[in-house]
């Protein structure tokens, strides 16, 4: 599909905002949804809506087939070895909290270490802070290099025989850094630690193979990859998940319930207490179909060309600072002179351009960058060079506006 055809699949992009054609550059926060995903959700609610795994009636069977069929699509998408290793959760945040609560509480104690980086999203910091406080473990950080990357020698020096869990983001939502997850996993395993990967900014944009990475846990959210909100995935190796306790108890996840004791279903259902996110999972399946139809390699190529073009054009704007390494994923985080990023985003909005401004759920990283906030333009498969050109014009307008006011 050429980009024009891809764009036509996203009805939301055809609108005007503030009298200008919408330029959507906030896909790292959430992506837009193609018509196939929207119609899959509508079709499910119009035709098949029912609870799963319970009824023997036809609608119940259709809903169950759709839900479990999506699990198989996810398994293929990340190359997990079995659907037992694919747990549907609310999103990346829930996936990381599940590992911290279940694996963490059972395996971490006083004197143990949890290793993360200062570039993590809050959802990959706070669960570990809480676990460390609860258990008396130490939370350690792999230091960042000046360009916002991490070096393997620092990884080697930070992870020790006391480290029990290492949790690192694959792709930074602020710097665009692509971390060497396979190498970090190898170092973690050499020290008998388990490796958790926050894949929220990776799964939508590049081919992920959990067996090739050899990570123990991998988390991502459907809403950043053309799917619905409210659904995401926790991948975990079967031998670890088998030994872990569920974190939510109730319907759907039980085998036998007595007055004083109960037993759990097998994987993956023991981690899916209550009525699951049925429509969401089916919508995620449709999103995977859509992304695979275009191809993850093609998506990566589109974004790479856009980010290269954006970096080149943005570097010609005087007073504009770009944060993060040269080699990066499809986003550019920046500040413009002394203009507050919220003001930048507000002026751009008047031009129909949607960018993110704030701390991007990465306050420790903002501190490291020595800024209170930044603006961020993030690209996805439906963006074009015209969108980058609109951003450049918008930034020039912003400069003129503030130059004029002050």
Which of residues 32 and 221 has its CB atom nearest to ligand PLP in the complex? 221
Distance, CA of 132 to CA of 114 (rounded, Å): 8
Binding mask 92-111 for ligand PLP (x = CB under 6 A): xx------------------
Distance, CA of 59 to CA of 42 (rounded, Å): 15
User: Cα angle vertex 275, ends 271, 277, to 5°?
Assistant: 80
Which of residues 158 and 179 has its CB atom nearest to ligand PLP in the complex? 179
Selected from 135, 167, 177, 201, the binder of ligand PLP by CB under 6 A is 201
Distance, CA of 377 to CA of 353 (rounded, Å): 10
Scanning residues 29 to 48, which ones bind ligand PLP (CB under 6 A)?
none
Check the CA dihedral 315-320-324-328 and report its sign: negative
Q: Is 158 in the site for ligand PLP (CB under 6 A)?
A: no
Which of residues 26 and 85 has its CB atom nearest to ligand PLP in the complex? 26
Binding mask 325-364 for ligand PLP (x = CB under 6 A): ------------------------------------x---
Selected from 198, 216, 303, 387, the binder of ligand PLP by CB under 6 A is 198
Active site residues: 361
Q: Which residues contact 229 (CB under 8 A, 6 or more apart)?
A: 30, 91, 222, 223, 280
Nearest-approach distance from CB 142 to ligand PLP, in angstroms: 16
Segment contacting ligand PLP by CB under 6 A, of 116-124, 155-163, 182-190, 327-335: 116-124
Tokens of 236: 């975990």
Report DSSP state, residue 200.
T
Q: Are 290 and 38 in contact (CB under 8 A)?
A: no
Scanning residues 359 to 388, which ones bind ligand PLP (CB under 6 A)?
361
Which of residues 170 and 402 has its CB atom nearest to ligand PLP in the complex? 170
How many chain residues are in contact with ligand PLP, going by CB under 6 A? Answer: 13
Nearest-approach distance from CB 306 to ligand PLP, in angstroms: 18
Q: Which residues contact 134 (CB under 8 A, 6 or more apart)?
A: 105
Give the CA distances from residue 383 to residues 6, 189, 299, 325, 377, in Å, rounded to whole numbers and listed in that order. 9, 39, 11, 22, 11
Report DSSP state, residue 124.
G
Scanning residues 295 to 324, which ones bind ligand PLP (CB under 6 A)?
none
List contacts with ligand PLP (CB under 6 A): 91-93, 121, 123-124, 169, 173, 198, 200-201, 221, 361
């Amino acid at each position: 599909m050429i980009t024009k055809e891809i764009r036509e699949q996203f009805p939301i992009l055809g609108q005007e905002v503030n009298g200008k054609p919408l330029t959507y550059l906030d896909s790292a926060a959430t992506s837009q949804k193609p018509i196939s995903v929207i119609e899959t959700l509508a079709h499910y609610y119009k035709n098949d809506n029912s609870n799963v795994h319970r009824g023997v009636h036809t609608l119940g069977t259709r809903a169950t087939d759709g839900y479990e069929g999506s699990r198989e699509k996810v398994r293929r998408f990340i190359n997990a070895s079995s659907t037992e290793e694919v747990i549907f959760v609310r999103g990346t945040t829930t996936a990381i909290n599940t590992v911290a609560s279940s694996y963490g509480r059972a395996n971490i104690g006083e004197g143990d270490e949890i290793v993360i980086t200062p570039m993590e999203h809050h959802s990959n910091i706070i669960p570990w802070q809480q676990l460390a406080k609860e258990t008396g473990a130490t939370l350690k950080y792999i230091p960042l290099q000046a360009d916002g990357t991490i070096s393997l020698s620092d990884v080697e020096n930070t992870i020790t025989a006391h480290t029990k869990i290492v949790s690192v983001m694959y792709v930074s939502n602020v710097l665009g850094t692509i971390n060497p997850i396979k190498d970090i996993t190898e170092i973690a395993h050499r020290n008998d630690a388990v490796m958790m990967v926050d894949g929220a900014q990776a799964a939508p944009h590049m081919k992920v193979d959990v067996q090739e990475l050899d990570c123990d846990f991998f988390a991502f959210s459907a809403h950043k990859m053309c799917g619905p909100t409210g659904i995401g995935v926790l991948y975990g190796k079967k031998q670890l998940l088998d030994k872990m306790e569920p974190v939510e108890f109730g319907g759907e996840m039980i085998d036998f319930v007595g007055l004083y004791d109960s037993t759990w279903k097998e994987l993956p259902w023991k981690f899916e207490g209550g009525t699951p996110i049925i429509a969401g999972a089916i919508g995620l399946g449709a999103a995977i179909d859509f992304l695979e139809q275009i191809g993850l390699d093609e998506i990566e190529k589109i974004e790479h060309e856009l980010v290269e073009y954006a970096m080149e054009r943005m570097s010609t704007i005087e007073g504009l600072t770009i944060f993060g390494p040269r080699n990066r994923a499809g986003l550019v985080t920046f500040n413009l002179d002394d203009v507050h990023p919220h003001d930048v985003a507000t002026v751009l909005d008047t031009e129909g351009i949607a960018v993110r401004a704030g701390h991007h759920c990465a306050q420790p990283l903002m501190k490291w960058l020595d800024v209170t906030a930044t603006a961020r333009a993030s690209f996805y498969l439906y963006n074009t060079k015209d969108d980058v050109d609109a951003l450049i014009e918008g930034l020039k307008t912003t400069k003129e506006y503030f130059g004029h006011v002050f």
